[in-house]
Amino acid sequence: MSDLLLIDDDQELCELLVAWLTQEGFHVRACHDGVSARAALAATPPAAVVLDVMLPDGSGLELLKRLRSEHPELPVLMLSARGEPLDRIIGLELGADDYLAKPCDPRELTARLRAVLRRSSQPPSVSGQLEVGDLCFSPARGVVNIGNHEVFLTLSEGRILEALLRQPGEPLDKQELAQLALGRKLTLYDRSLDMHVSNLRKKIGPHPDGRPRILALRSRGYYYAP
């Protein structure tokens, strides 16, 4: 049974989601503000977090930033009534693994949670480290070493980089990469994968000579340029 932490100030919605998710086999703890959420995270780290953007004592996005610094590989799904594209982009830029706008179908929420939990429970497809040029990636730790610099990746970023490093110079189809990284297929106008790749590019930076490490091929996908 997976332990979920639901952070949302809408107590009525929380009661409905707790009942639904419990019925679906999850163990759910609910918090309604940032202070209680931080205490719950410190007491017992969950398997995944469902986080609302708006909290009564601060922004859920600020809490997400803190989560990412303290628990980089903890799966986080943003759930918010603010469903505008810009809000989704900001959430994904800050490291959310997925984003759903309220009101959402509980079945869709369950499917997204199971997808992200399935990825987090899967061992890396390779043991040890992946090295391409000056970049060394440890899939088990989710850490990239470039020279003397260590970079911590989120679960989704790590899955993307692992997939690209396994076939450097060879493009990987977006749908295939989304299945590996997000555990689901991309829907129409879904830019989740692009945002994760963008975040990954910023974190690992270019080659020493300025060339980008990750390139896109129109209609074909992404590849790591050795």
Domains in the chain: boundaries: 3-121, 130-224
Q: Sorting pLDDT into bands at 50, 70 and 90, what band is 117?
A: confident
What CATH class does 130-224 carry? Answer: mainly alpha
- Which is it for strands 149-152 and 143-146: parallel, antiparallel or unpaired? antiparallel
Range 129-149 average pLDDT:
89
The domain 3-121 having CATH identifier 1.10.2020.10: the answer here is no
Here the tokens at position 183 are 């555990």
What integer pLDDT is reported at residue 89 of this predicted model? 73
What integer pLDDT is reported at residue 123 of this predicted model? 57
Query: CA-CA distance, 73 to 141, in Å (whole number)?
Result: 9
Q: Bigger pLDDT: 104 or 114?
A: 114
- Contact (CB, 8 A) for 181 and 129: no
DSSP 3-state assignment of 70?
A: helix
What integer pLDDT is reported at residue 170 of this predicted model? 92
DSSP 3-state assignment of 140?
A: coil
Q: Which of 99-108, 118-127, 162-171 has the lowest mean pLDDT?
A: 118-127
* Residue of 80, 83, 85 lying closest to 189 (CA atoms): 85
- Contact (CB, 8 A) for 148 and 207: no
Does the fold of domain 130-224 match that of domain 3-121? Answer: no
* Residue of 156, 162, 219 lying closest to 184 (CA atoms): 156
